[in-house]
Amino acid sequence: MSHFSYRDGVLCAESTPLNRIAEQFGSPTYVYSKAALCQNFAAYADACRGRDALVCYAVKANSNLAILNLLARQGAGFDLVSGGELQRVIAAGGDTGKCLFSGVGKTRDEMRLALEHGILCFNVESIPELHLLNEVAGDMGKIAPVSLRVNPNVDANTHPYISTGLKDNKFGVAFDDALATYRAAAALPHLAVAGIDCHIGSQLLDDAPLLEALDKVIELIDALAAEGITIHHLDIGGGIGITYDDEQPVPVGAYLARLFARIDGWRAAKHGGAPIKVLFEPGRSIVGNAGLLLTETLYLKHGESKNFAVVDAAMNDLMRPAMYEAWHRVQPVMPRRQPEKTYDVVGPICESGDWLARSRALALEPGDLLAIMSAGAYGMTMASNYNTRPRAAEVMVDGDRVHLIRQRETVADLFALETLIA
């Protein structure tokens, strides 16, 4: 995380000391680096330069309006999994004509909303969804552009909760059923077959499973062409991982170079060199290491077998450790020159699962600030109000300037929509 480093003994976001952010905005607070976001998006955009390609940021990773607006201004499209995410993109000034709508449970109202705003494509995940979308589009007098999310039964070699491309996962149409499902889609009067979609999982460190999935998708496109069904775009999904600890994920540019080489070779051999539009759905690899969670140490508890550093952030702020046993680096904002002790970093929530880090060597005193690193993805978007805890503030750092991009909630905000009964 090159945009988060120590300067004069203080951890900074770009050139802004994190203790200054805590003084101004309190804690817990999510802190994002504008430069990191732009650099991470540029890794995809630069690798796609000169090609018919579109990078559709996965909104579920971090859906703050300022982040969506920043990426939209960089030329990003968006991958959506709910009608609410579509409305966020619209509010952020994104181009709905660059939006893909994924997800296994799209409702009639969500389909209608997406059709009204002219999205690029629906990534359809079942035959019943095909028929409902055809019905909704027909009622509106529209033609819905569709691709099928094909499940290639490729093991992404990642955590089972974020693996999506195996035959036992709920996502997509089984590879063996895809040809018949495309035939069904092509026969429906209010659908237009536009592309093919594949997403096998998240936090992939090696691109071999992605390229294996690409080979299976290519095989299917050729089979469809033989039946007169033309595929206009190939959506290979996202999934490239980031460094949380000492992982060495494949560089985005190297992965895309191999992917484009394989696509170019296939098109030259089988389709006379005719190009095909390529879409991507990255999320974590754009925003994950562009953000951290800033928290204050409340108490130090020294026990017989364990020491606990109780902080003001909790599992409601960052769910990943409790949900996935995920590892996040913990760094002191102002390191102390004193002996370290081993602590579990835990929150105030009334659950034993409320932990952010385990067995970390830290030199701490109450009041010290800690940074939970690599928290830009699936942090705030998965946050809750469990224990009636207001969600954290969010800020964006641009050099030495800090912008509040989401105010901290108040307790009154949490029950503003509730009513008493007589």
What pairs with residue 147 in β-bridges? 123, 195
- Alpha carbons 372 and 321: distance in angstroms, whole number: 11
- Has 56 been annotated as catalytic? no
Place of tokens 């969600």: 391
Rg (CA), the chain: 23
- Alpha carbons 339 and 297: distance in angstroms, whole number: 17
137, with CB counted inside 10 A (0-12, 13-18, 19+), is buried
Sorted by sequence, the CB contacts under 8 Å of residue 264 that are 6+ apart come out as none
Sorted by sequence, the CB contacts under 8 Å of residue 305 that are 6+ apart come out as none
- Alpha carbons 139 and 134: distance in angstroms, whole number: 9
Tokens standing for 345? 């970093």
How do 233-235 and 191-197 pair as beta strands? parallel
CB-CB contact of 275 with 267 (8 Å): yes
**CA of 272: how far to CAs of 235, 268, 269, 329, in Å?**
21, 5, 6, 49
CB-CB contact of 124 with 178 (8 Å): no
CB-CB contact of 391 with 409 (8 Å): yes
**CA of 125: how far to CAs of 105, 132, 151, 165, 177, in Å?**
9, 12, 9, 12, 11
**End-to-end CA, the chain:** 55
91, with CB counted inside 10 A (0-12, 13-18, 19+), is exposed
Active site residues: 350
